[in-house]
Amino acid sequence: MYKKAVAPLGQMFLQTLTGGAFIALGFIFMVTTQQGMGEWPVGFAKLIGGVVFSVGLGLVVISGSDLFTGTTMTLMPRLSGRISTGRMLGHWGISAGGNFLGSVLMAVLILLAGTHASNGSAWGLVVLNTTQTKLGYDWHQAFFLGILANFAVCLAVWIASAGKTVADKVLAVAGPIALFVATGFEHSVANMFMLPMGWLIKNFAGDGFWQGEAMQEAGRTLEDYASITAGSALWDNLIPVILGNIVGGAVFVGAYFWATYRRGDADLARG
């Protein structure tokens, strides 16, 4: 965490772009697995989605990319006095902004590739339904779901740091990530892909998408997704989820482990 917080700004920004893009790839994989899963046991379908989504964080950890949710743990070097508050908050801002750009770029590429219309529009139907669900939470519910999600994500990053091989690190992230995704917790960077993806499909998919076999069988039309707006994505989900993610990562993991293992070192340094 400390090395990323003090990295040159250009390098930091580039690392954040792939952080967002890799989490988007995990969500893309998850959406792909959920097509036609309506007749499967709900728990099993969610388990599959959670496990494949962990590919995204695995890519982040192995590549050394910068993910905003994990970056919240830079509260630890701040508490130890190794970085300033301004540096910590600046890093958080660059990380969140870069993750958003990387995520949205992936959403645009998926739209241009026509993936949303694949399998009779079944892929896009999963995205629209998932987006609509995420925008249906009460503000406080989205906040607490955000706390729980980043509690799991930062624990995954924490235990992955103990891995000595690629296999160790990938296995370390799989469990906690599958847990949070399958349970329905809210991760801000994942939503930076899913919510724009849903908005893009709603507004730019075209008539052919809405006439797809999956859409016709589901009886869904454009009017059914009127709640998917840019304003709703920001206010009803991203803002409360980002705040919840900060609490879950910075406080529940970062400050907790700092108080447990490093607080004495900081006291000695000041003494």
Q: Residue 236 belongs to a domain with what CATH number?
A: 1.20.1080.10
Number of domains in the chain: 1
What local confidence, expressed as pLDDT, does residue 142 receive? 98
Angstrom CA distances, 63 to 19, 58, 60, 110, 212, stand at 9, 8, 5, 22, 38
Q: Kindly state whether residue 196 falls inside one of the protein's structural domains.
A: yes
What local confidence, expressed as pLDDT, does residue 119 receive? 96
What local confidence, expressed as pLDDT, does residue 5 receive? 87
Q: Kindly state whether residue 179 falls inside one of the protein's structural domains.
A: yes
Check: CB of residue 67 under 8 Å from CB of residue 192. Answer: no
> CA neighbours within 13 Å on the CB side: how many for 257?
15
Q: Kindly state whether residue 268 falls inside one of the protein's structural domains.
A: no
Is 40 in a helix, a strand, or coil? Answer: coil
Q: What is the DSSP string of 45-72?
A: HHHHHHHHHHHHHHHHHHHT---HHHHG
Residues of the chain with pLDDT under 70: 263-271
Given 3-state DSSP classes, what are the helix, strand and coil percentages for the chain, each rounded to the nearest 5? 85, 0, 15
Q: Kindly state whether residue 269 falls inside one of the protein's structural domains.
A: no
Using one digit for the tens of pLDDT, what is the confidence trace for 56-99? 999 999 999 999 999 999 999 999 999 999 999 999 999 999 99
Q: Kindly state whether residue 80 falls inside one of the protein's structural domains.
A: yes
What local confidence, expressed as pLDDT, does residue 263 receive? 65
What local confidence, expressed as pLDDT, does residue 265 receive? 58
Separation between Cα atoms, residue 194 and residue 189, nearest integer Å = 9
Q: Kindly state whether residue 171 falls inside one of the protein's structural domains.
A: yes
What local confidence, expressed as pLDDT, does residue 108 receive? 98
What local confidence, expressed as pLDDT, does residue 269 receive? 46
Instruction: Indicate the pTM of the whole model.
Output: 0.94
What local confidence, expressed as pLDDT, does residue 264 receive? 58
Q: Kindly state whether residue 55 falls inside one of the protein's structural domains.
A: yes
Range(s) of the domain holding residue 238: 2-263
What local confidence, expressed as pLDDT, does residue 101 receive? 98
Q: Kindly state whether residue 91 falls inside one of the protein's structural domains.
A: yes
